[in-house]
Amino acid sequence: MTAAIQREWTVNLGQRSAFERLGHSLCELFIRLRAVGLTQGNACELPVT
């Protein structure tokens, strides 16, 4: 992990509400999936049970 990513996650855990942390995590997941070609436009599969 780069230092910048580590700082972002530290802020993420310490200064955001649970709702904001969840939103940030979903955005991060989407960006990572898009980077490897696993999105369809502005959507991606999210099989949660």
| pTM of the predicted structure, to 2 decimals | 0.70
Contact 44, 38 (CB under 8 A): yes
Q: How confident is the model at residue 49 (pLDDT cuts 50, 70, 90)?
A: confident
Domain-by-domain residue ranges, the chain? 3-44
Q: For 26-47, how does the pLDDT look when each residue is reduced to its tens digit (9 = 90+)? A: 998 999 999 999 999 999 999 8
Distance CA 14, CA 12 (A): 6
pLDDT in tens, 9-31: 787 677 888 898 889 889 989 99
| Greater pLDDT, 7 or 19 | 19
The continuous run of DSSP H or E covering 27 comes out as: helix 18-35
